[in-house]
Amino acid sequence: MGRKGTRKGRRGLVGYVYAPVSQAIGAVRNTVSATSNTVKRVVGNSLRGANTIGRKVTRRANATLRGLVPRGTRRRRRN
């Protein structure tokens, strides 16, 4: 039996749209790591912050979409 309440693999519509952007940000961060330490820190921290904000906005947008789309009616079981 699986555990209840785990939604780790569930991405949502906006998550699929944001995934390539997140991959591009990660690639740029990897490229910057070959430059000097000062530039690497500034740009790396900026990109990490942008990606964190993007993921949080994505999570909120997915939650909003889930709230707008009806899931269907559940029927009560009578014992």
CA triple 17-23-27, angle to 5 deg: 155
The pTM of this model reads 0.53
pLDDT greater than 80 at residue 35: no
pLDDT in tens, 6-28: 556 677 888 888 888 888 888 88
% residues pLDDT > 70 (the chain):
71
